Amino acid sequence: MKSITRSLFARTALTLALAFIVFQVAAFWVVYRTLIVPVAERSADDLAGLVVLSAQTWVELPPETRAAFEQELARRHGLRLTTVDVGAIADAPNFAFRSQIEAALSRRVGDAVVLRGVPNKTAAWLDIPVGGHDLRVGFFPDRYAVKPPLAAIAVVAVGAFLSLLTALFLVRRITVPLARAAQAASQVGAGELPESLPETGPAELAELARRFNTMAAEVRELLDNRTTLLAGISHDLRTPMTRLQLNLEMLRDDANPARIDRAVADLADMNKLITGYLALARTTQAEPKVRFDLADLLEEVAADAGLPWPCAAPCAVEAGRLAVRRIVSNLIQNAQHYGGGTPVELALECSDTLVQVIVRDAGAGIPDDQLEKVFRPFYRLETSRSQATGGTGLGLAIVRQLAETNGWKVSLKNRATGGLEAALEIPR
């Protein structure tokens, strides 16, 4: 029960229900004080005036016409006038606004009036001494008692009830998607990939669902990358470790410099692999942005890579300088390694909204169906898994991860004239 009341829907529903109850009570009090009570007092005063006027008229009439007058009052107004003792000794039946009627009669008569009743009868009686006669006047409260304006109360009640239902319906539309998102988030936290949330409803909830689906896919991709990374470590390190172990065993019998050189080379290969793994693992955090001239940075990168660099106009950007340098350097190294020794071109295109750094080569290119696959960790177009020919398979994975972490885009496409074009896009 406690978990139910802690939910957003239950708390919102209780809050709305309390608010509408308070509104209902306040509305009823306002209607009662400004409508019901004034109408009741006016009706009671009218009844008191009719009773007194009828009694005075009865006294002034000739005795032979009084019976007809009494019959007319009974027929038209439901009043009973008589000088006979009707046995009204009990308290009159309780009815709505009795106190207002008694107060009005007391003002008209000039003396305190208390309504009396006959046992087992519904009529209310009072005594009026007038003209030397003790007149007894009776009326039926059901006919003269002021009834509350039930229609007005019903309208307020139904309106409040419908408003409450509408509010609860709207709250339900909001809380159900949030509950689904919470459940999906718990699945993501457990390492599972939940079903995509429906991207429907109000714009805010639809945007939340879209962002959550994107986040869930990225988390799953990150977990897959980490799994692949661990698998790659165990696979790629096994070969140089086996060679190193073999060379160390053979050094027991033949400690020649060549075997020592091979052991050192194996250690260097292992160190290169571990460096690549650590580099990929560090790409999950964005670098702080600084403002710098991208043209100057590319001039430095081109000089380090031995590429020609035409003088480019200044292009100021706010980005992670080291991340940009690393991505461009990796793309250049990839072009130089796989471009078949063809010239590599570095270019900069700078506009008001977008900056593009382009690396082109004239090599064999990449099959179109593998342009995206090469960004996966350990994916190699060269299947021998030799570092001398195929590398570690982490270069483009590091490039893509660095770009996505910093909010940039890296893409590959084959050139119409032959070769490959790699582009880094940075929004300005």
Boundaries of every domain in the chain? 2-144, 209-284, 287-427
pLDDT tens figures, 184-240 = 777 777 767 777 888 877 777 788 888 888 877 777 776 666 666 666 566 666 667
For the ranges 94-98, 332-336, 419-423, which has the lowest average pLDDT? 94-98
Residues 145-155 have a mean pLDDT of 61
At residue 384, the pLDDT reads 40
pLDDT category at 87 given cuts 50, 70, 90 is confident
Residues 19-40 have a mean pLDDT of 80
CB 156 within 8 A of CB 31: yes
Percent of the chain with pLDDT over 70: 83
At residue 280, the pLDDT reads 56
At residue 15, the pLDDT reads 77
Instruction: Answer yes or no: CATH 3.30.450.300 is held by domain 2-144.
Output: yes
- Using the predicted structure, report yes or no on whether residue 1 has a pLDDT greater than 50: no
The CATH number given to 287-427 is 3.30.565.10
Over the range 197-213, which residues count as b (16 or more CB within 10 Å of their CB) and which as e?
Answer: beeeeeeebeebbeebb
pLDDT category at 30 given cuts 50, 70, 90 is confident
The span from the first CA to the last CA of the chain, in angstroms, equals 53
209-284 is classed in which CATH architecture? Orthogonal Bundle (1.10)
At residue 309, the pLDDT reads 87
Report the range out of 305-314, 339-348, 398-407 with the highest average pLDDT.
339-348
At residue 316, the pLDDT reads 93
Residues 107-124 have a mean pLDDT of 83
Residues 1-21 have a mean pLDDT of 68
At residue 196, the pLDDT reads 80
pLDDT tens figures, 283-322 = 556 778 999 999 999 999 999 898 988 877 899 999 989 8
At residue 5, the pLDDT reads 57
